[in-house]
Amino acid sequence: MARSGKLRFADLEPVGPGTPAGRYLRLFWHPVMRAQDLPPGRAKPLEVLGEKFTIYRGEDGSSHVTAFRCPHRGTPLSLGWVEGDSLRCRYHGWRFDGGGQCVEQPNEDRPFCDKINVRTYPAREYAGLIFAFLGDGEPPPLPRYPDLDRPGVLIADPVEVLPCSYWNRMDNDHGHRAWVHRATALRKNRKDILMIRNEAIEETPYGFRGYRTALGEKNDAVSSMGLMKGEKAASENTIQMAKYKHGIMPNIRLWFQRTRAAGFDGGDLWETKVVWTVPINDQKHAAFDVSLAPLDGKDARAYEKVRKEQQEREAETRWDMAEQILAGEMTLEDLPDDMSAYTSFTIEDYVTQVGQGPIATRGEEMLALSEERLVTHRRIWLREVTAMLEGKPMTEWNIPTEPFIQETASSNI
């Protein structure tokens, strides 16, 4: 914290045990892995909130999060074998059950299993993700999100890992859209992306809600990039369900957008998007992106097939190109014409967010009135973390029991 004792924004960047933000984040459940990336009988190393853990799936399909190292000699438990619901260390064969209790010491004539255990953490699966509670004490109930519980095709995208602070993504305000994604907009003839939009913000019982409006033809910057005179009404109509964006404390965004899935883009299919931004450590974060498309029958099967194939295929190469752009070896305008909007959007966000670097090294920021959402979000975080540090009551955040889409859809009638 600052020497004066007052919490600063930069103090929220470190997330390890005992740090202000680390303590606050450990009060909540977080996704730590895509469910499909952990097959039965497999153990993997895991890093979240500046700590290392072991995650494994028992042969019965149950997921477990436990300590990173074996308490015997410190070997990573992820190197071992999954046997039923237990995990056996590769070094000397000590075996730990799903609750962390040592139940076997093959090399010992006089086993002392009852004195040995490893810490375990509550783990649950929901919306295609594995969640873990990494704090102390009894965990709160795992939150559910009514917009993801509706009928439709639910897809958890490949996890995005960016080498920058989680705040670099959480601070990604809506004003960047017409500029960061300009190359994609011109390449895909998406004039709606080039619209400059304002975003008003209000605090809510779950976090905050942003409301977007279009500046339209009155803005000279928009006109110069392709919006023609007389297109204001049509441009505002393109916002439609995208006018609201919800921030659910502490690190979740929920909004609605037209799909970018090949073969379904260009139409009027709106996906529900929920993204959890989870710190891996102080210099790296993971984004867990889940979407729901309101389709059924033949359309649902076709959408699911193309969406999964597209995401998995393009996830392999996008970061290489992003690093080339950051190194000045190519530009965003050099991205291939046949690249999907989804992938080029991701690369454009990567280079701007990663390029910002750590909060503490940026110097003084010159924030503008248009960044009301960013300022409000930071203020909420500082207020809540300060209350925690001072032992004062914190806000009990409550997710609505009805889908956000009901309000959003009714406002577009």
CATH of the domain at 231: 3.90.380
Q: Are residues 120 and 161 in the same domain?
A: no
- Same-domain check for residues 301 and 396: yes
Average pLDDT, the chain: 88
CA 239/CA 260 separation, integer angstroms: 15
Lowest-confidence region among 104-118, 264-278, 291-305, 391-405: 264-278
On the question of pLDDT at 206 being above 70, the answer is yes
Q: How far is CA 346 from CA 27, 157, 309, 311, 341, in A?
A: 30, 12, 16, 11, 8
Same domain membership, residue 188 and residue 267: yes
The Cα–Cα gap between 353 and 375 comes to 17
Provide the pLDDT for residue 411: 59
Label each residue of the chain as H, E or C: CCCCCCCCHHHHCCCCCCCHHHHHHCCCEEEEEEHHHCCCCEEEEEEECCEEEEEEECCCCCEEEEECECCCCCCEHHHCEEECCEEECCCCCCEECCCCEEEECCCCCCCCHHHCECCEECEEEECCEEEEECCCCCCCCCCCCHHHCCCCEEEECCCEEECCCHHHHHCCCHHHHHHHCHHHHHHCCCCCCCCCEEEEEEEECCEEEEEEEECHHHCHHHHHCCCCCCCHHHHHHCCHHHHEEEEECCCEEEEEEECCCCCCCCCCCEEEEEEEEEEEECCEEEEEEEEEECCCHHHHHHHHHHHHHHHHHHCCCHHHHHHHHHCCCCCHHHCCCCCCHHHHHHHHHHHHHHHHCCHHHCCCCCCCHHHHHHHHHHHHHHHHHHHHHCCCCCCCCCCCCCCHHHHHHHCCC
| Residue 94 included in any domain | yes
Domain termination site, one of 69, 98, 133: 133
What does pTM read for this prediction?
0.90
Inter-axis angle of helices 318-326 and 341-356, nearest 10:
40
- pLDDT tens per residue across span 219-270: 333 333 333 333 333 344 556 777 889 999 999 999 998 888 888 877 789 9
Total tally of structural domains belonging to the chain? 2
Q: Which range marks the domain in which residue 89 is found?
A: 30-133
In this structure, are 241 and 370 located in the same domain?
yes
Task: Give the CATH number for residue 103.
Answer: 2.102.10.10
Q: Which pLDDT band holds residue 194 (cuts at 50, 70, 90)?
A: confident
Please tell me the distance from the alpha carbon of residue 272 to that of residue 342, in angstroms, as a whole number.
Answer: 15
Q: Are residues 167 and 81 in the same domain?
A: no
Q: Are residues 87 and 150 in the same domain?
A: no
Whether 41 has a pLDDT exceeding 90, the answer reads yes
Same domain, 198 and 78: no
- pLDDT per position as a tens digit, 138-180: 999 999 999 999 999 999 999 999 999 999 999 988 788 889 9
* 202 shares its domain with 280: yes
Q: Do 164 and 62 fall into the same domain?
A: no
Domain end: 133, 158, 192, which one? 133
Q: Which of 72, 104, 133 is the last residue of a domain?
A: 133
